[in-house]
Structure 1
Amino acid sequence: MADAADTARTPVSPSAIEAGRWILDPAGSTVRVRHKTFWGLATVSGRFTAVNGEGEVLADGSARGSLTIDAASLDTRNPKRDAHLRNADFLDTDHHPEITVAVSGAVPGEGATVAVDGELTVLGRTRPLSFTARLTEATADTATLTADVEIDRTGFGMTWNRLGMMTGAAALTVTARFIRR
């Protein structure tokens, strides 16, 4: 016979996620970034270590919410590179300390997919953002979404590119674990 703790961990269908307020669990969430450099020969990888957010699941099963990333928390395991990424050539964290994702609609799709629409704000510039996330955990008290998103940094004014070393979009992998409030 299952006890109450086992029942709370039993996965439920995405449509069974109850309406209400949810908060991001920073300990169970990550935002990783990768970008090709040195003319595509090397990939710089890092992660933002400070992220928070909240959301609301509506009665129809759709959701909305926000994710806020501390731009200065980017860690690529190279302090000199991190300092450069925080300066005005890239994230300009002195003037723009946060990167935000405002989700206006997240609608369950087929299987464990979720269609997400909203806006991304970087360096004070807001652009539309749409992507498909995967529901990787769904219990009565937790829901975890994972998404791979490509971002064209030049659309936000990050045009530094010495000798054409940086090509293509930055790839972000976001794992957002929400807990029922």
Structure 2
Amino acid sequence: MLHAQPAEATATDEKLMGQVAQGDRAAYAQLVSRHVNRAYALARRIGSRPAEAEEVAQEAFLRVWTHATQWSEDKGRFSAWLSRIVTNLCIDRMRRSEHAAVAWEEAAEAVADPSVDLESDLHRRQLAQQVAAEVARLPDRQRMALSLCHYGGVSNADAADILGVSVGAVEALLVRARRTLAQRLQSLNRL
């Protein structure tokens, strides 16, 4: 026998935000549950260390709760709005910090596949570390555009809105970032 899911479980993010704006804590908890991992992952990709990324995700959802009445569907999807909040919090932290050291190596390491032999696994990890290190060296805007579009699954239009630039500017940032990464990685492989 099939059991129907509660209406809240199938509600869109946008509908839940309308409920959050009215003070519905259950709707808020559902949004947090749906998006906290994505917010954390985006903060890590932009350049936050694990503890900082947790703080950014928490602060982002605090802002979702406290500014829920300011959001409207006219401004775009909830996920794009949340990505904008996370990105802005990361930018603020980078501006405040004396150094924007990035722990990309930790974020880039994938779980080892037991079917891969040790040598292949070591090579894959080294490559992931090289890519992570080179991504971390990109200029902030290029790294953020790449993080949003490639790792965060955000559209170019949403990334443009989040970064406060045109779609063409985002596309240019992505082209430059990818070109720079390809050149750097190619020169590393020649060594």
Same fold (TM over 0.5): no
More helix by share: 2
The two structures have a TM-score, normalised by structure 1, of: 0.31
More strand by share: 1
Q: Report which of the two structures shows the higher radius of gyration computed on alpha carbons.
A: 2
The two structures have a TM-score, normalised by structure 2, of: 0.29
Q: Which has the higher contact order (CA 8 A, sep 6+)?
A: 1
